[in-house]
Structures are given as structure tokens and as C-alpha cells.
Amino acid sequence: MKNRDYLTKELATRDKSINYNLIANQYLPNPDPILKKQGRDISIYSALLGDDRVGGCVKSRKAGIKKLQWGIDRGKSKSRQAVIIEKCFNNLKIRQIISSILNAPLFGYAVLEINWQFIDGYYLPRKVQEKPQEWFLFNSANELMLKTKEKVEPLPEKKFLLVQHEDTFVNPYGFPELSRCFWPVAFKKGGLKFWLMFCEKYGTPFIVGKQPRGAGKDETDKMLETLENMIQDAVAVIPDDASVEIMEASGKSASSEIFKAFIDECKSQISIALLGQNLTTEVTGGSYAAAQSHLSVRQDIMDEDKTLVEDTFNTLIDYIYQLNFGDAERPKFSMWADEDVDTALAERDDKLTTAMEKSGLKLSKKYYQKNYGLEDEDILENKDAEPTEFSESKPHGAGQDEIDETINNLSKEDLQKEMEGILKPIIDLINDGNSYEEIMENLAKTFPEMESDSLLKMLERAIFVSELWGIINGKTN
């Protein structure tokens, strides 16, 4: 067998490449084209946050994540260790840390320093604080380094949290969404400046003074000065053989609209860059479907930001475990929307529960926890309630006498025809299904044009026939 050591080694490295120009002993420059052209560092993007549209969109994007609920999912971790993690996170400024983490999509990356404290025999984070991106750079191995006054030094383990947005091997600095806003902001400011000049020029009426042809330069200059004062004071004294005419700037509204349309377009590009859509902020009319489409795009961006936050906090939990508990099952940091219960799902489950109870079945506690986000402590057992007894002899809500009469009037041949009809594929779905939710989904796929109420009735009938089949077979065998 040939030597396969090469499989475990990295062959395509920067040391072998002729396309990389490294600086200061193997340190990578930020390849962002705007920073290169401006000859500035990443702090240039901080100035963009002062723009009203950029600042508003950034605040809206962050607010969508900061409003989510968060918690520690213990999973299979030990209870004592999970409690320590929960107490630790409750003592941190989580919302502020989330805001710092969400700067990574804006600037390409974010760096947060962890200040540890030895408490009750454990190393726990006392404070997690963001540090300026321009203080850091990456070396040829894509490792984060700290720039100091004397040198560039490596960072100690478990001391910093690095958050990267769309980073690659070529560009470990990530992609800054604010780079998409740089030129729209610059053009918007320029457009406002020219629009202001336009308004000053054409927004004020023109004052035209008329003098006799024989008037000399001194008389003309004196009248010009008088007209300039007239603009301020609205009062002027002129010779009796001169006249003043006030002319309005008409026909310039179309020119003014050009500036407005240009600035609106710049605002629209900023909204698209940061929120992924502009319909809800720019368009006053439009279809509901278009609005929902744009909102779904923004939801996708929010989901990506949420995942970024969760991954960063879970990295922090990994650090805590590595310092204190070693290789053990870890709890997970998770976030979720504090939404109302899905009414459609609740109504469907209510109908399904009713249909199942008639056959002596019910939905499990685990089902409700999975679909409605309930915890163990959210579900309490009602000890005072009388237990409901379900009998196999009372399917479909019928009494015992009615069931017996039905059985006596039905032969195995009649029931066989019923079983071999349209109910057979449904009964097969019931037998093959692993959960009642899966059964309903498979029913909906098999009969896509049938409404949910009809599906429930069909399921109810199939259960009823199946039970009758079992009862009859039990009596005849």
C-alpha cells in the first residue's frame, strides 16, 4: 500500500502560493477593496453608523434578534454543571453581548475578550466585552493576532471569542455588510448637498431690477446692493425711473424630483444591503404576497444572525467546560421567538385528540412539548381530575348497545369490502406511521385536495372500521 501521509497534510498553503503579498512578517492585509482604495482601516465603517438610514436599519436588524427569548438547554448534561452555566449567564449582560456579536455581519468580524474570575472553585466569565476590530489582524495561518505598540502578538487560548461573517480561507476578515453601504451613503450625502443648493437657487424668487439704458456702473451697483438688502428686509428704495420685478422659478419641479428619486434610490440600496429587503420601508403600495416575500428574506437573515449568536455563546460554554469539567456532555445556548401558540396547529390537534379519544388513544406529553415549546415544569398533573377510561367496545363515540347492534348486522364479508375500499390505504398509513403527526402529514400528501376536516373524518372512520374488524375477528376466532 502506498504511503498516504499526504492525506492528513495541507498542501495548498500560502507559503507555496505566488499570489499572496504578505506584510510585516507573514501578516495578512484586509482585502476589502474599499479599505484599500481609501487607504483606511476598518474603523471607516464606524462612521457610516451615523447615517440616519444605516443607523435605523442596523438598529432594526439587531432588534429582531435581541427581542428573542434565550435559555440554556440542559440536554444530557449533569444538572449541577448546567445550573452553574445558567447562573453564570444570568450574571452576564447577555443583550449587550448579543449586540456586540451582531457587529460581525456589519464589519466582517468581531472580537470579544473574556475576563475570567475564579469563583467557588470554578473559572467563570465575569465580563465579555467587545474590542475594536482595528486592534487585530490575521496571520498567514488565519489565526487572530493582537496589534500592540511594540509588536503583533498571538492570543492566549480561551481568552477571546472570534465571530466571523462569511469568512473564507482567502479572506479570514469576513465580508462586512457595511461595505455595501459605503457608496450609497456617500452619494446620498452628495445628493442632499446638491439638492440643498438647488433649493437655495430656485426656491427663492428672482429679483430683477430695471434701470434706464443711460444708467452708469455706479447706479447699477447701488441698485444691486439695494436688491440684495431687499431679499433680507423685503424693503427697497429705488429711483422713480427704475423698476423691480419679482419672477418665480416655474417649471423646476421635475428637476427637483430627480434629486428626490436619486436619494430614495440610495436609501433603498442601504435597506437592501442591511435588511435584505426594502418593500416595508420604501414602498407605500404593493401586493400582500410581495410584502410577505420580502419579509421572508429578512427572516432568513435573522435566522443566520441567531445562529451566529448561538454558536458564539456555545463556544463560551465549551471554554467553561474545558476549564472546569473536562470532556463532558454540555448544555446548549438557544434562542427562540416568544410567539403566540399556532392556532391552526392547536385547532388541528384539538380535532385529532377528539377523534383519537373515541378510539382510546391520546397525544403524548412529548408531542405537546415538541410542538408548543413546553418544558416539564410547564405541564402539571391534575390529581383531582377523574381518569378517563376508554373502552375498545366504544369506538366512534357509540354506546355499547349500538356497537353490539352494529357488529351483529355486519358480516366479515361486508367489513372486508369496506376494508378493501378507500379505507385500506388509510389503514395502511396508520399501521406504517410512527406518530399521529406523521400519519396526518401522510394523509395530506395522499389526498392533497381534501380539507383537514375531511381528513379527520376519514381517519376517524378508518379507526372505527379497524376496531370493528378486530372485535369481529375476536368473536369469530
Q: Is the pLDDT of residue 88 over 90?
A: yes
Rounded Cα distance between 144 and 141, Å, is 9
Lowest mean pLDDT among 156-160, 259-263, 368-372, 427-431: 368-372
Instruction: Specify the pLDDT at position 388.
Output: 46
Arithmetic mean of pLDDT, 113-121: 93
Instruction: Specify the pLDDT at position 95.
Output: 94
Task: pLDDT band for 284, please (50, 70, 90 cuts).
Answer: very low
Arithmetic mean of pLDDT, 204-230: 70
Q: Name the average pLDDT for the chain.
A: 75
What is the model's pTM?
0.60
Most confidently modeled range among 212-226, 287-301, 338-352: 212-226
Instruction: Specify the pLDDT at position 449.
Output: 55
Instruction: Specify the pLDDT at position 372.
Output: 61
All cell numbers assigned to 274? 442591511
Rounded Cα distance between 325 and 329, Å, is 9
Handedness of CA 383, 386, 387, 388 (dihedral sign): negative
Q: What is the 8-class DSSP label of residue 45? A: G
pLDDT tens digits along 30-85: 989 999 888 888 989 999 999 989 999 999 999 999 999 999 988 777 888 989 99
Beta-carbon contacts of 284 under 8 Å, excluding residues fewer than 6 positions away, are none
Q: Is the pLDDT of residue 326 over 80?
A: yes
